[in-house]
Amino acid sequence: MEKEKKSYGVHILVLPYPSQGHINPMLQFSRRLVSKGVKATLATPIFISKTFKPQAGSVQLDTISDGFDEGGFMQAESIHEYLTQLEAAGSRTLAQLIQKHRDLGHPFDCIVYDAFLPWVLDVAKQFGLVGAAFFTQTCAVNYIYYHAYHGLLPLPVKSTPVSIPGLPLLELRDMPSFIYVAGSYPAYFQLVLNQFCNVHKADWVLVNTFYKLEEEVVDAMAKLSPLITIGPTIPSKYLDNRLENEAEYGFDLFSSEPSAHTINWLDNKPTRSVIYVSFGSMACLSEAQMEELAWGLKGSGHYFLWVVRDSEEAKLPKHFIHETSGKGWFVKWSPQLEVLANEAVGCFFTHCGWNSTVEALSLGVPMVGMPQWTDQTTDAKFVEDVWKVGIRVRVDENGIVGRKEVEDCIREVMEGERGKAMKENAKKWRKSAVEAVSEGGTSDKNIDEFVAKLIISS
Ligand code: UDX
């Protein structure tokens, strides 16, 4: 897997969309590039850069401006205002950053940019740099957006199931939420569609997935663009239990209790006895939903480790933490990969954000999917029906997942016959994920080819 190689003169700038779920995979990809012998610099907006842990790492860090240097996204009045400023200030300061590195004698050869930021490609081309679009979500989701962008999927969708080459038949609830909840989050919907406004000019299209996982849709989409799969972007130490350089930094926008307490709690639990519950960095549940989830978890009778972010804490039923002490462990943010890699974890109750999903797949953990919005609905469809590594909860007529449903789904995964098959499938997907990024695997070969071409053209 990742091993030190001769250092070539190539320098790659990596530019993620500034959120946890986008920086994580692009930071890990940067580290993989460094392991292939090239130099990588990851740039984030100034506000985000303040949250990076200060230890030296193999990836250099630098900054651009999103126009909100003091407060980042929270300082903006709307998503629309943030995105407009991000493009305006981002383009200007990105050009300055490229020039600065030229002047200092370590110019960039290529920019790997988040497909959410298509304007980066325009700046890259002004400077004559290679541009590689990086899609952080699944190929399936992006192929659906591709169809919507090109008018091949007329909106709103009027008849189902929808048939798209390379994908299973999709009901409305299997579509990304921006499509099935007409008119929801228009600024975000525009953002995901705009990924395709200039992608045909990109030199490369990199997708954070692996070939076996999405074979048919990868083949279908690769006919339209120079697409390669490069995932999963999970650090090697979680895939082959090899210790990596401990000085490498992680990136967390959220403060948390010391990880050691959580891992210690897990270490004292029987194998596969704990449900890990987390909804990523953005999802907000209603108070009624938090209540049902809480009683469902308690009712399941299993141990649970629940990430309840600061913004969610007040929604927990009164005295719930106290009442479940002994069975439940609550944190504001967890070391998720370490948790999923721990043998005590038997099931991941997840919102099916793509990072969480691919992390669970790669670590062989079956899931209960409770998708909230964006790509999560489609990911949940694949988890249940295509990869068969989990169950998707059913929402009642009030739009809530009731406590009995929570309890039943957990029981099915932890104790049921279907659960046994899911565990076997989860092991199989873990093996495929490890193979993809191991030396000679599909993703590893693709990354080698990407780097080799940059070396030749630099
Ligand atoms: C968002 C979208 O919601 C998601 O659907 C999309 O695919 C990417 O952007 P987010 O909601 O944060 O991301 O979910 P997810 O994609 O799962 O990313 C969360 C990341 O934070 C994961 O890498 C996970 O390991 C990490 N995490 C989460 C922690 O390290 N600790 C936690 O307690 C929770």
Which tens digits make up the pLDDT trace of 382-431?
999 999 999 999 999 999 999 999 999 999 999 999 999 999 999 999 99
Q: Is the CB of 350 inside a 6 Å radius of any atom of ligand 1?
A: no
Select the more confidently predicted residue: 299 or 6.
299
Per residue in 50-102, pLDDT (tens digit) is: 887 655 478 999 999 999 999 999 999 999 999 999 999 999 999 999 999 99
Residue 163: partners with Cβ closer than 8 Å, 6 or more residues away: 169, 170
What does the alpha-carbon distance between residue 215 and residue 218 come to, in Å, rounded to a whole number? 5
Please give the pLDDT value at position 240: 75
Q: What's the 308 CA to ligand 1 centre distance in angstroms?
A: 13
Q: Is the CB of 28 inside a 6 Å radius of any atom of ligand 1?
A: no
Q: Is the CB of 204 inside a 6 Å radius of any atom of ligand 1?
A: no
Q: Is the CB of 208 inside a 6 Å radius of any atom of ligand 1?
A: no
What does the alpha-carbon distance between residue 399 and residue 422 come to, in Å, rounded to a whole number? 27
Select the more confidently predicted residue: 240 or 300.
300
Q: Is the CB of 443 inside a 6 Å radius of any atom of ligand 1?
A: no
**Which of 185, 355, 358 maximizes ligand 1 atoms within 8 Å of its Cβ, making it the mutation to test the pocket?**
355
**Which of 17, 20, 277 maximizes ligand 1 atoms within 8 Å of its Cβ, making it the mutation to test the pocket?**
20
ipTM > 0.85?
A: yes
Bridge partner residues of 228 (DSSP): 206
Please give the pLDDT value at position 7: 60
Backbone angles phi, psi at 353, to 5 degrees: -55, 150
Please give the pLDDT value at position 242: 53
Q: Is the CB of 72 inside a 6 Å radius of any atom of ligand 1?
A: no
Q: Is the CB of 253 inside a 6 Å radius of any atom of ligand 1?
A: no
Q: Is the CB of 364 inside a 6 Å radius of any atom of ligand 1?
A: no
pLDDT band at 243 (very low <50, low <70, confident <90, very high): very low
- Contact between residue 64 and residue 93 where contact means Cβ atoms under 8 Å apart: yes
Q: What mean pLDDT comes out for the span 282-306?
A: 98
pLDDT of 153 strictly over 50: yes
Q: What mean pLDDT comes out for the span 45-53?
A: 87
Nearest Cα to 40, choosing from 109, 127, 140?
Answer: 109
Q: Which helix (H) or strand (E) holds 229?
A: strand 227-229
Nearest Cα to 213, choosing from 231, 233, 225?
Answer: 231
Q: What's the pTM value of the predicted model, to 2 decimals? A: 0.96
Q: What mean pLDDT comes out for the span 217-235?
A: 95
Beta carbons within 10 angstroms of residue 241's beta carbon: 8
Q: What's the 200 CA to ligand 1 centre distance in angstroms?
A: 28
Q: Which 8-state DSSP code applies to residue 216?
A: H
Instruction: Give alpha helix (H) positions in 382-441.
Output: 403-415, 417-437
pLDDT of 353 strictly over 60: yes
pLDDT band at 3 (very low <50, low <70, confident <90, very high): very low
| Nearest protein CA to atom 30 of ligand 1, as residue | 336
- Contact between residue 108 and residue 85 where contact means Cβ atoms under 8 Å apart: no
Beta carbons within 10 angstroms of residue 79's beta carbon: 15
Q: Is the CB of 333 inside a 6 Å radius of any atom of ligand 1?
A: yes
Report the interhelical angle of 186-194 vs 139-149 (nearest 10°): 100
Mean pLDDT, the chain, rounded, equals: 94
Beta carbons within 10 angstroms of residue 386's beta carbon: 14
pLDDT band at 302 (very low <50, low <70, confident <90, very high): very high
| Nearest protein CA to atom 28 of ligand 1, as residue | 280
Q: Which 8-state DSSP code applies to residue 175?
A: S
Q: What mean pLDDT comes out for the span 22-27?
A: 95
> How far is CA 423 from each of CA 45, 231, 275, 388, 414, rounded to the nearest angstrom?
40, 22, 14, 9, 9
Q: Is the dihedral of CA 285, 191, 208, 75 positive or negative?
A: negative
pLDDT band at 434 (very low <50, low <70, confident <90, very high): very high
**Which of 251, 252, 253, 356 maximizes ligand 1 atoms within 8 Å of its Cβ, making it the mutation to test the pocket?**
356
- % of the chain exceeding 90 in pLDDT: 88
pLDDT band at 183 (very low <50, low <70, confident <90, very high): confident
Q: What mean pLDDT comes out for the span 317-321?
A: 96
Q: Is the dihedral of CA 138, 371, 355, 24 positive or negative?
A: positive
Q: Which helix (H) or strand (E) holds 204?
A: strand 204-207
Place of tokens 């909100």: 68
pLDDT of 176 strictly over 80: yes
CB half-sphere exposure, 276, CA atoms < 13 A: 31
Q: Which long-range contacts (CB under 8 A, 24 or more apart) does 392-396 make?
A: 392/368, 393/368, 393/369
Q: Is the CB of 362 inside a 6 Å radius of any atom of ligand 1?
A: no
Nearest Cα to 136, choosing from 250, 16, 13, 273?
Answer: 16
Q: What's the 352 CA to ligand 1 centre distance in angstroms?
A: 9
Q: Is the CB of 354 inside a 6 Å radius of any atom of ligand 1?
A: yes
Q: Is 229 exposed, middle or buried (0-12, 13-18, 19+ CB in 10 A)?
A: buried
pLDDT of 179 strictly over 90: yes
What does the alpha-carbon distance between residue 310 and residue 421 come to, in Å, rounded to a whole number? 36
Q: Is the CB of 356 inside a 6 Å radius of any atom of ligand 1?
A: yes
Q: What mean pLDDT comes out for the span 268-296?
A: 98
pLDDT band at 246 (very low <50, low <70, confident <90, very high): very low
Boundaries of every domain in the chain: 2-250+437-457, 260-433
Backbone angles phi, psi at 418, to 5 degrees: -60, -35
Q: What's the 280 CA to ligand 1 centre distance in angstroms?
A: 4
Please give the pLDDT value at position 2: 44
Residue 19: partners with Cβ closer than 8 Å, 6 or more residues away: 73, 253, 281, 282
Select the more confidently predicted residue: 375 or 8.
375
Q: Closest ligand 1 atom, CA of 375?
A: 5
Q: Which helix (H) or strand (E) holds 410?
A: helix 403-415
Residue 247, classed as helix, strand or coil, is coil
Domain at 260-433: CATH code: 3.40.50.2000
Q: What's the 265 CA to ligand 1 centre distance in angstroms?
A: 22
- Contact between residue 141 and residue 375 where contact means Cβ atoms under 8 Å apart: yes
Q: What's the 334 CA to ligand 1 centre distance in angstroms?
A: 11
Please give the pLDDT value at position 397: 96
Please give the pLDDT value at position 57: 73
pLDDT of 32 strictly over 70: yes
Please give the pLDDT value at position 250: 65
Please give the pLDDT value at position 56: 46
What does the alpha-carbon distance between residue 438 and residue 420 come to, in Å, rounded to a whole number? 27
| Nearest protein CA to atom 23 of ligand 1, as residue | 355
Backbone angles phi, psi at 41, to 5 degrees: -120, 130
Q: What mean pLDDT comes out for the span 214-218?
A: 98
The CATH H-level (homologous superfamily) assignment of domain 2-250+437-457 is Glycogen Phosphorylase B; (3.40.50.2000)
